[in-house]
Amino acid sequence: AQSVTQPDIHITVSEGASLELRCNYSYGATPYLFWYVQSPGQGLQLLLKYFSGDTLVQGIKGFEAEFKRSQSSFNLRKPSVHWSDAAEYFCAVSSGGYNKLIFGAGTRLAVHP
Amino acid sequence: NAGVTQTPKFRILKIGQSMTLQCTQDMNHNYMYWYRQDPGMGLKLIYYSVGAGITDKGEVPNGYNVSRSTTEDFPLRLELAAPSQTSVYFCASSYPRGADTGELFFGEGSRLTVL
């Protein structure tokens, strides 16, 4: 069965530091992969997605992610974190058609000034 | 452009009560979904719909019902509320994948507490 694992429940970084959030998936075929961000009290917003082609994808707010098939990973990165990036981040894989998504448990990011 | 609108935003229910969470979207999306979010568990799919009159179960459908009489509306009904249904509920919508987006558009959520 398809699944998504986000190994880090909570991460704290200093403002201006680089960030990498980990995501591992289990999926039999070529996956469609997504990263969403949820600010406190808000719904989820798409950061970026991977369907095919270039394995390094760019998203909004300066985020990027790299698809590595050999490692079944789709890690999210940002070179310099801003205080406004504090939020919860969800990795997801498309499962069974109709754009249904399986989500990871999420990683909560805190940013220290 | 309102996007996906959910009501109510907050609700407290007593065990055994019933209620309906409303969801409407103004983007003319064919696909709509209900997810629940529990701490440390991510989001789990309850029900989804691929068009008016068509609904199907997701991963955690027990205790819930849905209907889709119009493209815009996708209400979620809890018939006999139980403490296990305490959660934050999100409605979402999307285009068919033929439009090559795969993106889900989410409402702001409805926080439900069952006591």
Residue A108 has pLDDT above 60, yes or no: yes
Each residue's pLDDT tens digit, A52-79: 888 999 999 999 999 999 999 999 999 9
Please give the backbone phi and psi of residue A51, each rounded to the nearest 5 degrees, phi first: -110, -50
B22, with CB counted inside 10 A (0-12, 13-18, 19+), is: middle
**Chain B residue at shortest CA distance from A32:** B102
Q: What is the mean pLDDT of residues B83-111?
A: 85
pLDDT value for A37: 96
Cβ-proximal residues to A44 (8 Å cutoff; 6+ apart), any chain? A36, A37, A38, A90, B43, B90, B92, B104, B106
Residue contact A44–B107, C-beta within 8 A = no
Would you say residue A100 has pLDDT above 70?
A: yes
> For B4-63, how does the pLDDT look when each residue is reduced to its tens digit (9 = 90+)?
999 999 999 999 999 999 999 999 999 999 999 998 888 999 999 999 999 999 999 999
Predicted pLDDT of residue B97: 55
CB atoms within 10 A of CB B86: 16
Residues of chain A neighbouring B48 (CB-CB closer than 8 A): 98, 100
- Interface contact A49-B103, CB threshold 8 A: yes
| Pairing label, strands B31-38, B87-94 | antiparallel
**pLDDT at position B50, please?**
92
Residue whose tokens read 């989820």:
A44
C-alpha distances in angstroms, A45 versus A8, A20, B13, B111?
Answer: 20, 18, 29, 18
Residues of B in contact with A100 (CB under 8 A): 33, 45, 48, 58
- Chain A, 79 to 98: residues with Cβ < 8 Å from chain B are 90, 94, 97-98
B35 vs B97, which has greater pLDDT?
Answer: B35
* Residue B106, φ and ψ in degrees, nearest 5: -105, 145
Of B40, B102, B107, the CB nearest to A49: B102
* Distance of alpha carbon A49 from alpha carbon A76, whole angstroms: 11
